Chain A
Amino acid sequence: MGLLTNLRDSISRAASTLFSEEDPKRIGIYGPPNAGKTTLANRIARDWTGDAVGPESHVPHETRRARRKENVEIERDGKKVTIDIVDTPGVTTKVDYTEFLEHDMEKDDAVRRSREATEGVAEAMHWLREDVDGVIYVLDSATDPFTQVNTMLIGIIESQDLPVLILANKIDLEESSVQRIRNAYPQHETIPLSALEGDNMDEVYDKIAEYFG
């Protein structure tokens, strides 16, 4: 079973690299809850397709199902890079409905949101295992990046030999510290941005084309 799956994975990956010009790479946007993943996904989608990917919210776990935006064409230096963007639910090791109660949510809604968020984490981990060709890892640069979740996820991504781009989001916030992220994950290039404000998006697209083109 595992062997078969692995075999099939490697075949599909080999096939995807063979036909890379035809099949857009599927880039998963990963990160902890409330890092700005959906804001970034919407920014990219709006910039290049005119559509949004999904609703954004300051309430954590707004995205509880992976959402995909296909055939996003990004033009860099006269070259077109086509990717599928997968906006994934925020990955965490604990989901507690009481956290949502602080956001004026009824208990029933909070419990349901919590359950869906947990399903979403499971789904995100599953996508990471089988269905992404590269990862954009979004971190809130105003918070401590050195967490168990971040270390584990980046470790998994590295073990999969997936290309990963670390984005230090929310540089518009005063508490933002891009250097803290660079220090935490020196083995990867860290690109600062504000997905909300659209700051430094040009460099982000350059790097996307470079990493996933």
Chain B
Amino acid sequence: MPHQCTNCGRAFDDGSKEMLSGCPDCGGNKFQFRPDGIDSQAPPDPDAEPPEPPEPPGADSTVARTVGKTAATVRDIVGGGNDDPTVGADAGAASSTGASGSDDASPGVDRSEAATRREVDTQTADTEDAAQASARADVVTPDELPQEPQTDSESEHHFQPVGADPDPPEEPDETERPDLKELREELNDQFESIKVLEPGQYELNLMELYDREEYIVALQEDGRYSIQVPETFRE
């Protein structure tokens, strides 16, 4: 809805991860932002498609499917969707599968709206490209349903790195952490030897100084000190 592929016109929900790896349909990587207010007016196309992708994954469970369909139909109503074939089929499926009382309400809405939609569709279908219509039809076809989960899974592959944005930084951190730990330990060791409270005030850990192989040659005013390694010290 808020995002639309500028190449094929496919729409994506706000925050959709699919578009992060390019449009699953055409591979396009340019998307235009469409605020909700505009969405309701302009893009019936995008509206039609996004509801459908949720459906395939939900096809496994009847409840999920019906919920997905109701969501799709509601969007269609709001956006004046053109998905007659798809919604019609979905509505049929929903009505057939919807055994619960709660499901009965939504098909009722579907059917009543379906009629109005068909009228709108016939009007808009004239103005629309056949390619767009076929694209929508393609999306709805059962053949595409298995593909979309694939794209989902692909997108997931893309996403996990992206969606796990916190993670990738962590991984490098983890790889760096040992070094940092070593550094800190090294620094701690040094502070354990000589702690500079302020220039001219020092606390000394005699055991640490004794245990060190390095020989502290000179203290700097900034708290650093230079050391002489045993090899050079011992000629």
* Residues of A that sit less than 8 Å from B by CB: 1-2, 5, 8, 91-98, 107, 110-111, 114-115, 118-119, 121-123, 125-126, 128-130, 149, 152-153, 156
Contacts and interface: CB of A to CB of B under 8 A. Distances in A.
B213 interface: yes
Contacts of B218: 119
Contacts of A152: 206-207
Interface stretch (B3-11, B44-52, B100-108, B196-204): B196-204
B212 interface: yes
A118 B210 contact: no
16 contacts: A93-B205, A94-B202, A95-B204, A96-B200, A97-B201, A110-B200, A111-B199, A111-B200, A115-B221, A118-B194, A119-B216, A119-B218, A119-B219, A122-B194, A126-B210, A156-B210
A210 B13 CA distance: 93
B201 A93 contact: no
B131 interface: no
B: interface residue count bin: 20 to 34
Contacts of B225: 119
Contacts, number: 77
B210 A125 contact: yes
A187 to B, nearest CB: 20
B230 A5 contact: yes
A2 B194 contact: no
A159 to B, nearest CB: 10
Contacts of A94: 202-204
B217 interface: yes
A122 B216 contact: yes
Given A115-B219, A115-B221, A119-B217, A97 B200 contact: yes
Nearest to A152: B206
A115 B205 CA distance: 15
Q: Which 5 A-B pairs have CB atoms at the shortest separation, nearest pair first?
A: A97-B200, A111-B200, A122-B216, A125-B209, A114-B200
A72 B116 CA distance: 116
B205 to A, nearest CB: 8
Interface centre among A110, A111, A115, A123 (most CB of B within 10 A): A115
Interface of B: 193-194, 199-207, 209-213, 215-219, 221, 225, 230, 234
Contacts of B213: 1-2, 5
B202 A126 contact: no
Given A95-B202, A125-B210, A129-B211, 7 more contacts: A94-B203, A98-B201, A115-B200, A119-B217, A128-B210, A152-B206, A156-B210
Given A93-B204, A118-B219, A8 B234 contact: yes
B200 A126 contact: no
A126 B206 contact: no
A121 B221 contact: no
Contacts of A1: 213, 230
A152 B207 CA distance: 8
Contacts of A93: 203-206
A131 B194 CA distance: 21
Nearest to B230: A5
A150 B126 CA distance: 101
A126 B204 contact: no
A122 B200 contact: no
A153 B205 CA distance: 12
Nearest to A12: B234
Contacts of B206: 91, 93, 121, 125, 149, 152-153, 156
A123 B216 contact: yes
Contacts of A98: 200-201
A118 B204 contact: yes
Nearest to B208: A125
A203 B178 CA distance: 58
